[in-house]
A and B are shown apart, each in its own frame.
Chain A
Amino acid sequence: MKSYILPEFLVERDDYRCIRCEVCVRQCAFEAHRYDADEDAVFVDESKCCGCLRCVTLCPTRALTVRRNPTQTPDNYNWTREQLMDAYKQAETGGVLLTGMGCGRELPIYWDRIVLDASQVTNPSIDPLREPMELRTWLGAKPDRLDSQGEGKRRRIEGMGPQLKLETPMMFSAISYGAISYNTCEALARAAAELGTYYNTGEGGLRRDLYKYGRHTICQVASGRFGVHADYLEAAAALEIKIGQGAKPGIGGHLPGEKVSLEISRTRMIPEGSDAISPAPHHDIYSIEDLAQLIYALKEATHWTKPVSVKIAAVHNSAAIASGIVRAGADIVAIDGIRGGTGAAPTRIRDNVGIPIELALAAVDDRLRAEGIRNRASIVVAGGFRNSGDVIKAIALGADAVYLGTPALVAMGCHVCRKCYTGKCNWGIATQDPYLSKRLNPELAARRLVNMINAWSHEIMEMLGGMGINAIESLRGNRLRLRGVGLSREELDILGIKHAGE
């Protein structure tokens, strides 16, 4: 069948610059470049290019340019080029459209419509280079009041759950071994340890080589229960029950058999080469009481020494659901917004299901406060953070900390080309191909992660100082330091902020 799909990108080679080194040929796992020895020329099949810019970045003579294919489809507000191409693709394959990474649709990004305050005159701003500035954050259940019981070593505080100590309110989101390479997992683990924060294993289990970073690891328990065993729970600093994911609320996951290598099969405890399917629901959780049972089972299994988080996708009733989760005994509620990333999701689900994290966060924080149970759990939000400005706004809206997924991958080289589900990530991230995954050096990638988080932390300190605040807890939930720009009354009400100028 003749394909009607237009190449998304044009790959242009400046032949005068090209030295026929074939770097581009070797770097493109999609095989877009081809060297013809007879003609001593490099040819491109643009239909294979996904715009990951690997060849462009590595070409030693900068001979390559990749740009959007300028070919125009007929002007039509409804039938844009994307809509046409998607329809052709489905007409040609009969399949569900698959994609990777988070929803990139033109849904409002509230972070961009919210601005921060700063001190002038009546309240001195603080320079974080000269004055103390504290970002330390604790995640876990806290009582409403300090009431200590017992003496000396046996002393405990009534209602105080086990706590995670974060030196900066940013953690790395759940991304499973399987979706990403081992090197990438190692880089995340190392960086989390160096930064004094945590990374999350996702649902793919934990390779024993990484147990040494356990004190900085949040281990996930998802509907497939892959890789969940006593040592795994023991190795973790905290556990997370994954109910949903922002990129694909309401559906499960599917790691194709080709990606299930020997090591992955061992880690996930499934046969090599078999598909790893996470069912949409947990088949032992059909109601909130069932969730409570699993929370307590995990607490019991770890002798009540580890906080248990429950992660949900941001959907319409997130506030009520979060309240139920807190009452079911979770120490942390993690909420993942519609722009959250994924290794693979059906395009239509990713782009149409769920709500923006800003609104879900505001609603959840409000609800937990209205019910007087905000102290009983920490709120962690994920899905759609791009820079420290987004992060600090989330904290001012009421989050205790954020999970960074896509930004962490970007720090390591990801160009958000959305082809993670193919397993051919040219940047060595979302792949199990040893030829590709060795492109990512865990030590260098960890350095990039640490640099980025340190830079963001510093920016957060600057902004806090500008507001005359020297401890992050004084901004958490302090929505008076936020203003909306160009938002409707309804949006402002839900976000619980005033309009700029008010």
Chain B
Amino acid sequence: MFRGSSFNAPSRFFRDDKDFSGCSIFGMMDRGGGKVNGEPVIKAIANMKERSNGLGGGFAAYGIYPDLAEFYALQLMFEDECARSRAEEFIRRSFEVAEAGPIPTRSIPEVTDIPLLWRYFVRPLPTCLQEEEGEDDYMVRAVMHINVNIEGAFVFSSGKDMGVFKGVGFPEDIGRFFRLEEYEAYTWVAHGRFPTNTQGWWGGAHPFNILDWSVVHNGEISSYGINRRHLEMFGYVCTLHTDTEVIAYAVDLLLRRHGLSVDDLAMVLAAPLWEQIDRLPRGKRERATALRQIYGSLLMNGPFSIIISNRTQMIGLTDRIRLRPLVAGRAGKMMYISSEEAPMHLIEDGLERTWIPSGGEPIVAEMEVGTGMRAGVGA
């Protein structure tokens, strides 16, 4: 089972089965489509400093590239210039490139050991698509190819009109490093990391992203081994040996490729107990039973709370027995999901309600219709 996954991280990176981390997560969405810059989200995540240890921080921002929204924004990190030329050779061969350039950063003493960070706005070349292959499927294949086969190159963001910004450091430093105050987004998601086993590697920070889907995660997935083997049957190659990556791929498979609803997704990732299923009315019971029978290998077992986002949704979810914290809050059109309640109060005066969902119960924030937002992929 360890065949075929060339490990595309620095050689000093330990080859642990997966990543073990405790973390902070935070997400905010303006359901009316109003945009804010990165300052509030940085402030919020910084408030949960206790939950991270400076070995990883990251953000996902939606709505930041409105002028190039038709193109996939491929954001890559490279070990060195050779890796960059290898990857660019592949990118130019496979895509029409509308724009390319380094990701703007500011140098600050807190952030060091920086890889080369570049972004490319691309569209698949129609001649490259296989028969009956959609552009999204092609993108997934291309991302897998770069991450598995191109030494020293790693795609950390591949959606449209969105971007992931992440690295080694405390999240507030990573935010300043990437100059997030210069971006305007209607959804921001953030992560502060407390890994116990991995040396800092930029690719290992959260969010994990594939197409428009981003996942930030607090916890450890005990079922990782089988989740990963199941996803391998569907062409997903887990290159990072981290459990968060499997969540991102599972979400892509279930929502985009298999067309499940968010409620179904929650029933797969944090399946209700059989005891609960047996008590449901017939129709629901049959569906819940079928979901567990078919997707048992994608049940995420172990403690987790996650925020999954795409261009129109932000979903919070905890494991079935709720071993990690998660709270939700609402202020008019703003929706918040966070590991703790305090940061919401810190950045929002008008908080109307906060609540704690039960284990396995998804919190779903969705863009209002008429906000001019195109439905995200699979939404």
User: Of A122, A136, A369, A478, which one neighbours B220 at CB under 8 angstroms?
Assistant: A122
Residues B222 and A123 in contact, CB atoms below 8 Å apart: yes
**Residues of the B chain whose Cβ atoms lie less than 8 Å from the Cβ of A192:** none
User: Closest chain A residue to B295 by CB distance?
Assistant: A146
Give the residue of A124, A163, A473 whose beta carbon is less than 8 angstroms from that of B323.
A124
B294 CB within 8 Å of chain A: yes
- Cα–Cα, bound, A74→B274 (Å): 62
Contact residues in B for A147 (Cβ distance below 8 Å): 258
1/0 per position for A468-495, CB-CB distance to B under 8 A? 1111011111111100000000000000
Q: Which of A121, A145, A470 contacts B301 (CB 8 A)?
A: A470
Encode A141-167 as 1/0 by CB contact (under 8 A) with B.
011111110000001010010010000
Interface size of A in residues (CB-CB distance below 8 Å)? 43
Is the CB of B263 closer than 8 A to any CB of chain A? no
Task: Say whether, besides A160-B290, A473-B297, A476-B296, A124 and B225 are in contact (CB < 8 Å).
Answer: no
- A478 in complex: contacting residue of B2, B225, B264, B294, CB < 8 Å: B225
Name B168-219 residues within 8 Å CB distance of A.
196, 219
Q: Which single residue of chain B is at the shortest CB-CB distance from A159?
A: B294
Q: Is A163 a contact partner of B293 (Cβ separation < 8 A)?
A: yes
Question: Is the contact region of chain A dominated by helix, strand, or loop, or is it mixed?
Answer: loop
Interface string of B268-297 (1 = CB under 8 A from A): 000101110000000000110011111111
Of A138, A145, A160, A372, chain B has the most CB atoms within 10 Å of the CB of A145
Interchain CB contact under 8 A, B294 and A143: yes
| Cβ of B320 under 8 Å from chain A | yes
Which chain A positions have C-beta within 8 A of B224? 478, 480
In the bound complex, residues from chain A placing their C-beta under 8 Å from that of B287 are: 146, 148
- Given A124-B303, A132-B275, A479-B1, decide whether A474 and B294 contact each other with a Cβ distance below 8 A: no
Contact residues in A for B70 (Cβ distance below 8 Å): none
Q: Does B123 contact A (CB under 8 A)?
A: no
Whether B294 lies near A480 (C-beta < 8 A) is no
Cross-interface CB contact of A468 among B274, B286, B303, B320, cutoff 8 Å: B303
Min CB gap A230→B, angstroms: 29
Residue of B nearest to A473 (CB): B296
What is the number of residues of chain B that contact chain A, defined by CB distance less than 8 Å? 45
When chains A and B are docked, how far (Å) is the Cα of A122 from the Cα of B20? 6
Chain A window 305-320, contacts with chain B (Cβ cutoff 8 Å), 1 for yes, 0 for no: 0000000000000000
Pairwise interchain contact A369-B233, C-beta atoms closer than 8 A = yes
**Which residues 227-250 in B have Cβ within 8 Å of A in the complex?**
229-230, 232-234
What CA separation (Å) do A366 and B1 show in the bound complex? 8
A142 contacts which of B257, B294, B302 (Cβ < 8 Å)? B294
Interface of chain B residues 6 through 21 with chain A (CB within 8 A): 17-18, 20-21
How far apart sit A156 and B82, CA to CA, in the bound complex (Å)? 54
Q: What CA separation (Å) do A148 and B233 show in the bound complex?
A: 22
B301 contacts A471, C-beta separation under 8 Å: yes
B22 at the interface (CB under 8 A from A): yes
Assuming A469-B302, A470-B320, A476-B297, is B229 touching A369 (CB within 8 A)? yes
Chain B residues closer than 8 Å to A477, beta-carbon distance: 225-226, 229-230, 297
CB A356 to nearest CB in B, in angstroms, measures: 19
The interface residues of chain A lying within 8 Å CB-to-CB of B21 are 122
In the complex, what residues of A have CB within 8 A of residue B222's CB? 119, 123, 467-469, 474, 481
- A496 interface contact, C-beta 8 A: yes
B230 CB to nearest A CB, Å = 8
Closest chain B residue, CB of each to CB of A140: B293
B321 within 8 A of A: yes
Contacts A119-B222, A146-B290; is A471 near B275 (CB within 8 Å)?
A: no
Q: Does A131 contact B (CB under 8 A)?
A: yes
B363 at the interface (CB under 8 A from A): no
Look across to chain B and name the residue whose beta carbon is closest to the beta carbon of A131: B321
Tell me the bound Cα distance from A470 to B359 in angstroms: 14
- B321:A123 contact, CB within 8 angstroms: no
A374: interface (CB < 8 Å): yes
Partner of A123, one of B225, B232, B257, B303: B303
| A479-B225 in contact given A124-B323, A145-B294, A471-B271 (Cβ < 8 Å) | yes
Report B-chain residues with C-beta under 8 Å of the C-beta of A136.
Answer: 274
Q: Are A473 and B20 in contact (CB under 8 A)?
A: no
Q: Is B107 an interface residue (CB 8 A)?
A: no
CB of B260 within 8 Å of the partner chain: yes
8 Å CB contacts to A: which residues of B351-371? none
Does B5 make an interface contact (CB < 8 A)? no
B234: chain A residues at CB < 8 Å are 144, 372
Q: Please give me the residue from chain A that is nearest to B4 by CB atom.
A: A370
- 9 A-B contacts (beta carbon < 8 Å): A123-B302, A144-B294, A469-B301, A471-B301, A473-B226, A474-B222, A474-B301, A480-B18, A498-B17
Known: A119-B222, A123-B219, A498-B2. 7 other contacts (CB 8 A): A124-B323, A132-B275, A138-B293, A473-B292, A474-B226, A478-B225, A496-B2
The interface of chain A, by Cβ under 8 A from chain B, is: 119, 121-124, 126, 131-132, 134, 136, 138, 142-148, 155, 157, 160, 163, 366, 369, 372, 374-375, 467-471, 473-481, 496, 498
Which residues of B are in contact with A by a Cβ distance under 8 Å? 1-2, 17-18, 20-22, 196, 219-220, 222-226, 229-230, 232-234, 257-258, 260, 264, 271, 273-275, 286-287, 290-297, 299, 301-303, 320-321, 323
Of all A-B residue pairs in the complex, the 6 with the closest CB atoms, nearest first, are A480-B225, A473-B296, A474-B223, A474-B301, A478-B225, A478-B226
